[in-house]
């Protein structure tokens, strides 16, 4: 092989390698999702990667409010999944979502839980006004959807003033779950799916009615660098396969 032939072969291989690297990069997808979706979306992600060889998903789990703030500040996110409609409405109003990609994909239920070792278990929300419940946890209402659902339900029950001094706020629903699991509070408001994760350390005392359904929307972020793959992921979440995985973690259909 002549020197020029070797040079041509080397150049061809380098070009192929570079194109391959670009292709791999194009198959990366970043998904920001509500903390309550952590376990379910990790399973959904594994199934999606298996169905799309060469694809790699990166998840960012936190409370919906902070996730939206990150997107507003320019974080490189392709898909956003919120635990409430209000947060997604704010994203839409700020024109952060790709038009026509928003869709509901799951529902959940608000529950009141207590530590598994608790000697007192409330039978109704009004019981939280008793002396046995000095510290009650929920998410920070301004940024954590579970906190907003909680406060609306407490307000409807006429308990807002009575419980005002008892609140311990968490930065996400998972932090609230941890407070209860470690018996650092006497009770806490989480989603049913979260309670099932720590069913050995917590107990569901009662299901809490909510005026607004606990509904999860998902959408492609307008600034996504991989729009096609983002749409594929959203479609997978809403597909029969994706819904089956979500139902396995306690979520119900939208």
CA-nearest of 183, 178, 73, 164 to 117 is: 183
Question: Residue 201 burial (CB < 10 Å; 0-12/13-18/19+)?
Answer: middle
Read off the pTM: 0.86
Residue 157 CB neighbours (<10 A): 17
The answer to whether 122 touches 128, Cβ cutoff 8 Å, is: yes
Number of other residues whose CB lies within 10 A of the CB of residue 102: 19
Find tokens 């509500």 and name the residue. Answer: 34
Task: List the structure tokens of 107.
Answer: 């529902």
How many Å apart are CA 186 and CA 110, to the nearest integer?
17
Q: How far apart are CA 231 and CA 223, in angstroms?
A: 13
Q: Supply the DSSP string of 174-201, one letter for each residue.
A: HHHHHHHHTTSSSEEEEEHHHHHHTTTT
Residue 56 C-beta-side C-alpha neighbours within 13 Å:
6
Residue by residue, pLDDT tens for the chain (254 residues) are 554 444 444 444 444 444 444 444 448 999 999 999 999 999 999 999 999 999 999 999 999 999 999 999 999 999 999 999 999 999 999 999 999 999 999 999 999 999 999 999 999 999 999 999 999 999 999 999 999 999 999 999 999 999 999 999 999 999 999 999 999 999 999 999 999 999 999 999 999 999 999 999 999 999 999 999 999 999 999 999 999 999 999 999 99
Q: Look at residue 107 and give its three-state secondary structure.
A: strand
3-state DSSP assignment of residue 215: strand
* 88-95 long-range contacts, CB within 8 A, separation 24+: 88/217, 88/219, 91/219, 92/219, 95/222
Alpha carbon distance 188, 169 (integer Å): 10
Written as six digits, the tokens of 32 are: 């920001």
């Amino acid at each position: 092989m002549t020197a020029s032939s070797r040079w041509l072969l080397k150049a061809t291989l380098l070009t192929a390698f570079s194109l391959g690297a670009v292709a791999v990069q194009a198959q990366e997808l970043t998904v920001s999702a509500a903390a309550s979706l952590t376990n379910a979306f990790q399973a959904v992600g594994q199934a999606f990667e298996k169905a799309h060889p060469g694809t790699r998903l990166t998840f960012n789990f936190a409370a919906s409010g902070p996730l939206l703030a990150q997107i507003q500040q320019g974080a490189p996110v392709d898909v956003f999944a919120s635990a409430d409609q209000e947060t997604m409405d704010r994203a839409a109003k700020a024109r952060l979502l790709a038009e026509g990609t928003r869709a509901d994909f799951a529902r959940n239920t608000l529950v009141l839980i207590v530590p598994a070792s608790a000697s007192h278990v409330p039978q109704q929300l009004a019981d939280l006004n008793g002396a046995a419940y000095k510290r009650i946890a929920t998410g920070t209402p301004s940024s954590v959807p579970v906190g907003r659902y909680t406060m609306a339900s407490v307000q409807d029950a006429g308990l807002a003033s009575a419980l005002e001094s008892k609140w311990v706020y968490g930065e996400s629903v998972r932090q609230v779950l941890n407070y209860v699991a470690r018996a650092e509070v006497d009770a806490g408001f989480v989603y049913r799916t979260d309670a099932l994760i720590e069913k050995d350390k917590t107990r569901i005392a009662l299901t809490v009615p909510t005026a607004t359904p606990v509904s999860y929307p998902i959408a492609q972020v307008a600034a996504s660098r991989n729009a096609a793959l983002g749409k594929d992921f959203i479609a997978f979440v809403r597909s029969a396969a994706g819904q089956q995985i979500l139902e396995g973690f306690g979520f119900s259909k939208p």
